[in-house]
Amino acid sequence: MKSLFISRVVIKNFRNFKNVDVCLGHKQIIIGENNVGKTNFLRALQLVLDPTLSDEDRMLQEADFNDSIKNPMENKEEILIEIFIDNYDKNKTILAVFQDATVMTEDGKEVLKFTYRFFPYINEGGVAEYQYNIYKGNDETKKFGSYERKYLNIKVVKALRDVEGEMRNSRTSPIQKMLKNYAIDKQDLEHIAEEYRKNGEKILNLDELVDLTNNINKRFGMVLGNNDFDVSLRAMEINPAKVLSSLKLLMAQRNTTEISLGLNNILYISMILQLLQDKTIPSLIKAEKYMELSSIKGGKILKDTYEKSKNGNYFLNDDISEIQQDKLYTFMSENMPISKGVTILAIEEPEAHLHPVNQRLIYRDVIQNSSNSVLLTTHSTHITAIAPIDSIVHLHDDREGGTVIHATATMPMCDGEFLDVERYLDVKRGEIYLGKAVILVEGIAEEYLIPRFADLLGKPLDEKGIIVCNINCTNFTPYVKLLRSLDIPYAVITDGDYYYVNEEEERVYHQMDNDDSDEKSGWLGMEIIEQMINELGLNGNEKMPDDLEEKEQLFYSLGLFVGYYTFEVDMMECAAIPNNNSEKPLEVISDLFSELTTGGAQQKQNFKKELKAGEYWKCLNKIEGNGIGKGRFAQRLSGVCMKEHIPGYIQSAIDYIYKKVDG
């Protein structure tokens, strides 16, 4: 059962956020560059929900206003944070405590709303002073305070966390908190403590210790001049109350302080999640309680789901069916209700100190499967690559000093529409979310060459955080949809795939355009892009122009760049355009072919000839067919390519995306 979650956040004038309004889901990955406001986003939630914040922490300062606001306090500006909660209607504790926080969404659904407001307040003396108020629903008199935070709160696991320290400290250690959740019998503890003491005393009977004690006493007595004070040894101080806190966590028989930071991190996060888990179905029932529950109507279920332990208590079986689980949940919530609150967990950079495999592990197995709502901030492409598309919250600079937030949680999605994208996002492509802008390309050759072209044009992509994302197909639509919903600037580069229609009314591809104006011809690439424009309504209500040039103009303005033939052919054609060092660009290509091909001298000769004659399709065939392949060729070409190789549409795309990032 999924717990409640924060379904919407509105922030006004707080730190990075001038005015954001974002919808969220149950599990959220918050991504964005450093300093863009990920921590401040969590801070906004903490101002309302975190019980560990003091009143002083909640009282903001002038510096907490968004930078774009001049003299905020003089101008009586306000900071506003609104948090909406959804999916709580099965939780009786939450309903009981927070029903007076209910508001209606625009589409007629009940949700809970909590507001933090920092505002100038005219006091009884007529003086304006800044105050904050946290309240439920729309009524400023319904305070949201420490009582409320007992039942709904957030726990933030900081990026710079001292996991070792926290686990060692018995006050903060999750293991101690978990122990406290059990009501362990005091007598048992006393008994154990007594046993400890008895066994410990055996050590004192060792002759070596007897000797030691004697010697100390002798020396002490001599110095003191008498034997009035008897010095003795005690083995262990055992206080029943401290028996539990003396427990140490071992991993593979080693103390956790000796375990790698990475593993400790996983252990720590696992324990926090376990601590916060819904415990309506207890994993252990004491004998007495078990008897009591079994005798209640419907208590038979216990027999099938619990097993007696050696000590006579009962453990929950691991392999209970979902039906049993549901039944058990209903039974327990009726007969042994726990009125615990709900904690939303926020983890900053769970990937810290983790091997990529473990990064994926902690996300997939630990976080994704938790019934609690989890928010996490990350820079890890290992995590973004496997996160469901609809769980992304993307923060980026609005180029005016503020930060904007977009989330995919409410992006309209057809079933399976993003399956392709999800399946396709691997570690490399996980970067798609992390870039300031993205160039979508259809193949590996573009992936290799475009960054190099950008360098040659004096517009290095890395410097601006522009990412080239190769989607290995021409189905750009879902990617464009995704990027648009996150408001990440993008450019699409795709082949034109020129064709003409022969007498049999069939399309013939991979031919050079012979400028025969009688022939019916077209560009598959243009058609695909046009279809996407229509599907996503990129052109608004405007009609698609019929004129080819106008059409291309429109595509460019939308960041969609279509070639003529195919990337390599366009490149060769471009290289053939006469210019200053006229032969060089073509030579580079033919030299590279000669170097890479497994073919003989004749073939190398033929390639050169065909290249000169403009028979680029034949050239490309040879590249693909002689143990080279487009990828390898492009990879090598990227080392030697020149400005002259850059086809016009690619240069336009680079110019376009650069302008987008620079604003």
- Which residues of this protein are in contact with another protein, per CB under 8 A? 89, 92-93, 95-97, 99-100, 102-104, 110, 121, 123-124, 129, 131, 133, 137-141, 147, 151, 334, 337, 339
Q: How far is the CB of 308 from another protein (least distance, A)?
A: 28
Q: Which is nearer to another protein, 121 or 182 (CB)?
A: 121
**Ramachandran region, residue 171 (left: φ > 0; alpha: ψ -120 to 50; beta: rest):** alpha
Judged by beta carbon, residue 124 or residue 503, the one nearer another protein is 124
Classified as helix, coil or strand, 405 is strand
Rank residues 104 and 291 by Cβ distance to another protein and give the closer one: 104
Residue whose pair of structure tokens reads 């000590």 in the numeric block: 311
Smaller CB separation from another protein, 40 or 115? 115
- Give me the least distance between CB of 138 and another protein, in Å please: 7
- C-beta of 73: minimal distance to another protein in Å? 16
Task: Round to whole Å and give the CA distance between 592 and 74.
Answer: 68
For residue 355, CA distances in Å to 164, 351, 379, 382, 448 come to 18, 8, 14, 10, 27
Q: In what order do the strands lie in the sheet with 314-316?
A: 284-285, 314-316, 306-308
* CB 129 to another protein: min, Å: 7
Q: Could you tell me the smallest distance in angstroms from the CB atom of residue 69 to another protein?
A: 22
- Cβ proximity to another protein, 96 vs 241, nearer residue: 96
CA distances 475 to 332, 428, 442, 649, Å, are: 50, 18, 9, 19
Select 309 or 339, whichever has its Cβ closest to another protein. 339
Q: Which value, in Å, is the radius of gyration of the alpha carbons in the chain?
A: 34
The nearest distance, CB 368 to another protein, in angstroms, is 29
End-to-end Cα, the chain, rounded Å:
45
Least distance from another protein to the Cβ atom of residue 345, Å: 22
| Closest separation in Å from C-beta 100 to another protein | 5
Do 577 and 617 meet the contact criterion of CB atoms below 8 Å apart? no
Q: Minimum distance from CB of 91 to another protein (Å)? A: 8
Nearest to another protein of 236, 296 (CB atom): 296
Helices and strands per DSSP (H, E), number in the chain? 27, 24
Q: How far is the CB of 60 from another protein (least distance, A)?
A: 15
Nearest to 623 by CA among 441, 439, 440, 444: 444
Torsion-angle region of residue 74: left (phi > 0), alpha (psi -120 to 50) or beta? alpha
Task: Tell me which residue has tokens 């005798």.
Answer: 295
Cβ atoms of residues 470 and 424 within 8 Å? no
Q: Residue 129 or 326: which CB sits closer to another protein?
A: 129
Q: Which is nearer to another protein, 93 or 539 (CB)?
A: 93
CB of 312 to another protein, least distance (A): 26
Give the residue from 460, 398, 475, 461 showing the smallest Cα distance to 431.
461
CB of 177: closest distance to another protein in angstroms? 20
Counting Cα atoms < 13 Å in the Cβ hemisphere of 482 gives: 24
- Which of the 8 DSSP states describes residue 143? B
| C-alpha separations of 298 from 14, 302, 321 in Å | 52, 9, 17
Concatenate the DSSP letters of all residues of 44-81 into one string: HHHHHH-TTS-HHHHS--GGGB-TTSSSTTTTT--EEE
CA distance 533 to 529: 6
* Residue whose CB is less far from another protein, 150 or 161: 150
The residue among 144 and 656 lying less far from another protein, judged by its C-beta, is 144
Q: Tell me whether residue 135 or residue 490 sits nearer to another protein (CB atom).
A: 135
CB 563 within 8 A of CB 496: yes
